[in-house]
Chain A
Amino acid sequence: EIVLTQSPTTTAASPGEKVTITCLASSSVSNMYWYQQKSGASPKLLIYSTSSLASGVPDRFSGSGSGTSYSLTINTMEAEDAATYYCQQWSSNPLTFGSGTKLEIK
């Protein structure tokens, strides 16, 4: 099983600040996916195939990485971006998620 380790676990950012969330895989994966989950809501796809923006996602979000190291970046933090973010891989079974990064607004 591929274990995904996210960091930080919790963070806070001021409006306009740049935020980066990291996801390290225990073995190499070919693609990474990122989901946003706001409080009381279902997860929403943000990034697929490592760096492609899902439909309707603002372009202040971006993804990058390869091999065992991936990241999600929010270029300029907005209040509506406060949420928990999960990375996910399905390069090999079982499909696994990172443990999540809670992002709060300062």
Chain B
Amino acid sequence: EVQLVESGGGLVQPGRSLKLSCLASGFTFSNYGMNWIRQAPGKGLEWVASISSSSSYIYYADTVKGRFTISRDNAKNTLYLQMTSLRSEDTALYYCARVGYGLRMDAWGQGASVTVSS
């Protein structure tokens, strides 16, 4: 069974950093690109960042470029999102999602909650 489990969320003060992890199981992690998608409370879905299977291609939303870093460790089946200089508008539930054939996001984690507040 394909599983994606996020961790590392929490309450953090503005300007501080936080690192999210997404542990993958049930599939060959190194064969798939991965995305981070976030959802602010009561709002819609927003793409955050993408990374290809071998980390050759990395893309960021303008809203997080220069502050967030997506990375992966294929040996550990884990995707990461390093978030720095956090702002209140970064408060959201952060999902990792597998990018399947044809660029479809065919598996999603349960989400990690990030709250940025003083």
Listed in ascending order, the chain A residues whose CB lies under 8 Å from chain B are 31, 33, 35, 37, 42-45, 48-49, 54-55, 86, 88, 90, 93-100
Contact = CB atoms under 8 A, between A and B. Distances in A.
A94 B59 contact: yes
Contact of A42 (B35, B47, B102, B108): B108
A9 to B, nearest CB: 11
Give the contact-size bracket for chain B.
Answer: 20 to 34
**Interface of A: prevailing SS:** loop
Contacts, number: 53
B46 interface: yes
B45 interface: yes
A94 B104 contact: no
A48 B35 CA distance: 16
Nearest to A33: B104
B48 to A, nearest CB: 10
